[in-house]
Amino acid sequence: MKALNIPTIDFVGKRTYAIIVSLALIAVSIFSLSTHGLKFGIDFTGGTLIEVGYEQDVNLSKVRNTLSEAKFKSANVQYFGSTKEILIRLEPQAVSSAKLSSKIIHLLGDDVDIRRVEFVGPKVGEELTNDGGLAMLYALIGILIYVAIRFEYRFALGSISALIHDVIITLGVFSLLQIEFDLTVLAAILAVIGYSLNDTIVVFDRIRENFLSTRHVDPAKIINGALNQTLSRTIMTSLTTLLVLMALFFLGGEIIHSFALALLIGVVIGTYSSIYVASSMILALGISKEDLLPSEKEEKEMDARP
Amino acid sequence: MNHYSGLRNALIAFFLLLSTLYALPNIFGSDLAVQVSSAGDAAIEQSDLTKITDTLKQKNIQYKSAALSNRRILVRFGDNASQLSAKDLLKTELGRNYVVALNLAPSVPQWLDSLGGRAMSLGLDLRGGVHFLLEVDMQAVLAMSIDKYYNELRTLLREGRLYKSIKKEGDNIAIRFKTLELKEKALARIKSDVSDLIVLETDNQDELLIQVGISDDAQKIAKSSALKQNITTLRNRVNELGVAEPIIQQQGLERIVVQLPGVQDTARAKEILGAVATLEFRLVDEKNDPQTAIQSGRTPIGSKLYYFKDGRPLLLKTRVITTGENITGASSGIDQENNIPMVNITLDSAGGRAMLDTTKKYLHHRMAVVFIENQVETITDEDGRVVLDKKGNPLKKRTTTKDIINAATIQGTFSSRFQITGIDSAREARNLALLLRAGSLSAPIEIIEERTIGPSLGADNIQKGVLSVIVGFVLVLIFMAVRYRVFGLVANVALTLNLVMIVAILSLLQATLTLPGIAGIVLTVGMAVDANVLIFERIKEELGSQSNIQKAISSGYDKAVLTIADANITTLIAALVLFSFGTGPIKGFAITLSIGIVTSMFTAIIVSRAIINKIYGGKKLEELSI
């Protein structure tokens, strides 16, 4: 038989530092979000995006000149992935129309390879922005209800604060680095919500179990014990998830880049928050053994356990 | 302890075999193919197949196979060149009653195909193609129906001269009467004859004035029929373009989704789909000079000023001889004498009669062809936001361009068949003929979203997506094996089976695999091991607290299962929200994520347990390799 070495790190004792770190990160994120805002992609702002490929390296200023001569002065031209591919972005014009892209493609000549054209009308963009916000809200509410039913309202509040923490900081990073925020990033953030919650629930499950199986112990100690017991699982799962995300980030191509990045950031923050934020929160809300006493039926099952 | 019944093991094995079977079609790849289907209702028959194979043999185009199934003929080719030349050949040989399109045909073996095994369908971002979201201009639809009712009312109330005046006011019609008696009479007549109209309650003090509007029901009907008719026209146009598996669907009350996988010439597709163009034939007013009309700013009664595309003015008679609605056939060609592009027109009997009468009566006069195009665009402010009008509708810019494309002297009488020239290029002649054939849209439409993926990017996306799945997957396999040894290997088997199951379910559902969908699979791979990690860590713990190894395995599984269920259900909630909110790309991600969560619970808990039971169950153990 192998001796089991469950770590005894004092997570709960260090929660004051964690709270300071979290608050600082949130403050920076909110500051950046309110001053810089997010760099929304055309999915949300509306506009036109064209990705073209050339046989040889392209000269960006040449393309810019061609476009500005044809009165597309607001066109943003940049390399995309390599110097043989360029991305042209057009802000929404006074009159939005899918025809702009055809005009630009015509200007670029026949020998280019049209890799991608996206046009999003202003109305569609506004709808997506509203729907996206609503989706985030619905996800949070659904989770709140589920956790409140399965556990207790303090756990629900704890997990939701961890999620809001994760979402704000992930958005903050996107705002600080001014990385484009498009539909796929929104999807990634919703996936982060799912992931981070997964993590939190595992910890909570253990906290509940420990509360019920031991008697007269300080809640802080129980929570700390549960965090330590689940620590190696938390780390393992985060590592495997990070591994595949790295694969996506480096090999998945440009289109999936910011999606993978959002998940990478989200998984790291989510792992941290399920250890520090969620559990500190339920401790602060004053969780105790009495709150978790099961109904009679479950109690019998508990007693039956060895 | 730690023993599954034979029945249970057999069931698990059955599920896994079934999954493997239905995941199998995806490994066979696909053939380049040309697909021939019927443009109308006529069925494709065996004789068509013979005709196609004969044509290909005649021209010496090599093909792998040709078969008729599901009301379409698929001819498979070994290389791109013969596929393309076969498409062009068949298109000209078969004529307009057939849709000839390039396609990719999965090369699933016969026995698998007959079991219902099909490969996943690839989304536009993986195979290339265009996605359009079109919005029908419903304000224009209402304006058109107001016009219609206005004319109807005028005719109805003219009998016995019931009204004093009648005019359109915005979305309503205002009618004024001389006496109350006439007003009552008119109201009764409107109620009995035009049930679609309602008399509006107004705070107007004038008793001799009524305002009439279109009832809500009638508005709904007008809108939905406009939408349906547009869908029909779009379908005709898409058929003319030749697309293998187009999707043309209503979305909501005002929108139409059009997806054209594998379309190469996206610019043309866009031109064709969005065009609201028609023709009018009018006589030229030879008596008056257009220059005088321009200078005086007044056009003679019975005439209207039009311009050629190059800006030359010409006065045309207001009476229309016939319009595009009477055109039943149109094809483009080259006028042999002058070597210029032309369009051959065929009119229906009403149009033919009108044309015959006119050409007889006005021999040696000039007749003009006017090309009318309607466009609608959304107006935005400086920040790119939609501008709303007083009623809260988005402000649109509607433009109607009417260009004379030619004005030629009538050389002889003709009726339903003739040619028109004056078109800029062969390409435009082709487009015009196509639009005339497919019929005009009943209301203007606007492309409000476009997502085009070129074929090269699609191929890139597949390659990168598959590569990242493989690399991510292998990394996780190595990691698990190193960390949990025998148990890790078991988890790896479970993970592989999980991947197989996801692919099988996606194939069975015929869900569309997109790049975000692949990302969902990758993420699932990372997260699916979580369940096994939870179990294994729990077993380790149990090993620390008790000496009975069999018991440790069993309680490790039991205790972890509840946690796994809780954790996965919450993730599933997030995935479901994603799905319900989802537009295209996000939906794909949500689908694979949801399927992955469910299958991973099966493989990680039940399948891995079955294997562990087989390895360790019932044995006396000293140590576990975990």
Residue B5 scores a pLDDT above 80: yes
Contact call for residues A22 and A276 (beta carbons, < 8 A) = yes
Kindly state whether residue A99 falls inside one of the protein's structural domains. yes
Asked if A92's CB is within 8 angstroms of B380's CB, the reply is yes
**A272 and A129 in a common domain:** yes
Kindly state whether residue A1 falls inside one of the protein's structural domains. no
**A210 and A150 in a common domain:** yes
**A133 and A51 in a common domain:** no
Whether the complex's predicted ipTM surpasses the cut of 0.90 = no
Average pLDDT of the residues in B95-114: 83
Q: What is the pLDDT of residue A306?
A: 46
Q: Which residue has the higher pLDDT, A117 or B43?
A: A117
Cα separation, A196 vs A274, whole angstroms? 7
Kindly state whether residue A4 falls inside one of the protein's structural domains. no
Which residue in B273, B448, B498 has the most chain A C-beta atoms within 10 A of its own C-beta, making it the best mutation to test that interface? B448
Chain A, nearest residue to B549 by Cα? A1
A59: amino acid identity, one letter: N
B506: tokens are: 């996606």
Cα separation, B38 vs B571, whole angstroms? 46
Asked if B467's CB is within 8 angstroms of A183's CB, the reply is no
Kindly state whether residue A6 falls inside one of the protein's structural domains. no
| Residue in A160, A231, A209 with CA at minimum distance from that of residue A10 | A231
- A158 part of contact set with chain B, CB < 8 Å: no
Cα separation, B461 vs B516, whole angstroms? 10
Chain A, nearest residue to B275 by Cα? A99
Residue B270 scores a pLDDT above 60: yes
Q: What is the pLDDT of residue B498?
A: 94
Chain B, nearest residue to A159 by Cα? B570
Asked if B543's CB is within 8 angstroms of A1's CB, the reply is yes
Residue range(s) defining the domain that contains residue A114: 47-120
Kindly state whether residue A7 falls inside one of the protein's structural domains. no
* B278-441 is a CATH 3.40.50.1000 domain: no
Cα separation, B217 vs B400, whole angstroms? 29
User: Half-sphere exposure of residue B118, counting CA atoms within 13 Å on the CB side?
Assistant: 12
Asked if B467's CB is within 8 angstroms of A240's CB, the reply is no
Residue where a domain terminates, one of A120, A149, A184? A120
**A254 and A214 in a common domain:** yes
Q: What is the pLDDT of residue B610?
A: 93
Q: What is the pLDDT of residue A1?
A: 39
pLDDT band at A2 (very low <50, low <70, confident <90, very high): very low
Domain at A31, CATH number: 1.20.1640.10
Helices vs strands, H then E, count in chain B: 17, 22
The string of DSSP codes covering B469-509 is HHHHHHHHHHHHHHHHHHHHHHHHHHHHHHHHHHHHHHHHH
Residue B492 scores a pLDDT above 60: yes
| Residue in B263, B283, B240 with CA at minimum distance from that of residue B436 | B240
Cα separation, B34 vs B121, whole angstroms? 17
pLDDT band at A231 (very low <50, low <70, confident <90, very high): very high
Residue where a domain terminates, one of A120, A137, A153? A120
- For chain B, give the percent of residues with pLDDT over 70: 98
Work out the angle at residue B304's Cα, subtended by the Cα atoms of residues B373 and B352, and round it to the nearest 5 degrees: 65
Q: What is the pLDDT of residue A294?
A: 60
Instruction: Kindly give, in sequence order, each residue whose CB lies less than 8 Å from that of residue A109, ignoring residues fewer than 6 positions away.
Output: none
User: b/e string for B490-521 if b means 16 or more Cβ within 10 A?
Assistant: bbbebbebbbbbbbbbbbbeebbbbbbbbbbb
Chain A, nearest residue to B477 by Cα? A240
Q: Which residue has the higher pLDDT, A23 or B623?
A: A23
Residue showing tokens 């002889």: B412
Domain at A60, CATH number: 3.30.70.3400
Q: Which residue has the higher pLDDT, A303 or B288?
A: B288
Q: What is the CA radius of gyration of chain A?
A: 25
**A149 and A219 in a common domain:** yes
**A62 and A148 in a common domain:** no
Encode pLDDT of B179-225 as tens digits: 888 888 888 888 888 878 888 876 666 778 888 888 889 899 999 99
Enumerate residues 54 to 93 of chain A having a beta carbon within 8 A of any beta carbon in chain B.
91-93
Cα separation, A12 vs A276, whole angstroms? 8
Asked if B380's CB is within 8 angstroms of A96's CB, the reply is yes
**A172 and A131 in a common domain:** yes
Chain A, nearest residue to B454 by Cα? A115
Residue where a domain terminates, one of A64, A91, A120? A120
Cα separation, B262 vs B30, whole angstroms? 14
The C-alpha of A74 sits at a distance from chain B's nearest C-alpha, in angstroms, of: 13
Q: What is the CATH number of domain B30-106?
A: 3.30.70.260
Average pLDDT of the residues in A278-291: 85
**A247 and A158 in a common domain:** yes
Residues from chain B that touch A266, judged by Cβ atoms under 8 A, are: none
Which DSSP symbol is given to B76?
E
Residue A81 scores a pLDDT above 90: no
**A115 and A230 in a common domain:** no
Contact call for residues B236 and B230 (beta carbons, < 8 A) = no
pLDDT band at A170 (very low <50, low <70, confident <90, very high): very high
**A209 and A171 in a common domain:** yes
Cα separation, B531 vs A202, whole angstroms? 10
Domain boundaries of chain B, sorted by first residue = 6-24+458-616, 30-106, 139-220, 278-441
SS3 call for B40: coil
Encode pLDDT of B290-325 as tens digits: 888 888 888 888 888 999 888 889 999 988 888 888
Residue A5 scores a pLDDT above 80: no
Helices (H), B45-137: 46-58, 80-94, 110-114, 124-127
Please count the structural domains in chain A: 2
Average pLDDT of the residues in A109-117: 84
Contact call for residues A38 and A175 (beta carbons, < 8 A) = yes
In degrees and rounded to multiples of 5, residue B75 shows phi and psi of: -110, 125
Q: Which residue has the higher pLDDT, A151 or B204?
A: A151
Residue showing tokens 């963009």: A125
- A115 part of contact set with chain B, CB < 8 Å: yes
Q: What is the CATH number of domain B139-220?
A: 3.30.1360
Kindly state whether residue A149 falls inside one of the protein's structural domains. yes
Dihedral over Cα of B11, B14, B18, B20: its sign: positive
The string of DSSP codes covering B343-402 is EEEEE-HHHHHHHHHHHHHTTTSEEEEEEEEEEEEEEB-TTSPBPB-TTSPBPEEEEEEE
Cα separation, A268 vs A175, whole angstroms? 17
B492: tokens are: 């790896």
B563: tokens are: 């946690």
Cα separation, A64 vs A60, whole angstroms? 6
**A33 and A175 in a common domain:** yes
Asked if A2's CB is within 8 angstroms of B543's CB, the reply is yes
Chain B, nearest residue to A246 by Cα? B472
**A93 and A173 in a common domain:** no
From residue B66, how far is each of B62, B262, B625 by CA, in Å? Answer: 11, 20, 56
| Residue in B88, B271, B26, B581 with CA at minimum distance from that of residue A43 | B581
- Other CB atoms within 10 Å distance of the CB of residue B302: 12
- A97 part of contact set with chain B, CB < 8 Å: yes
pLDDT band at A299 (very low <50, low <70, confident <90, very high): very low
Cα separation, A163 vs A278, whole angstroms? 9
Asked if B397's CB is within 8 angstroms of A248's CB, the reply is no
Residues from chain A that touch B527, judged by Cβ atoms under 8 A, are: 195, 198, 237, 240-241
Kindly state whether residue A260 falls inside one of the protein's structural domains. yes
Q: What is the CATH number of domain B6-24+458-616?
A: 1.20.1640.10
The C-alpha of B561 sits at a distance from chain A's nearest C-alpha, in angstroms, of: 11
Encode pLDDT of B526-568 as tens digits: 778 889 999 999 999 888 887 788 999 999 999 999 889 888 8
The C-alpha of A23 sits at a distance from chain B's nearest C-alpha, in angstroms, of: 26
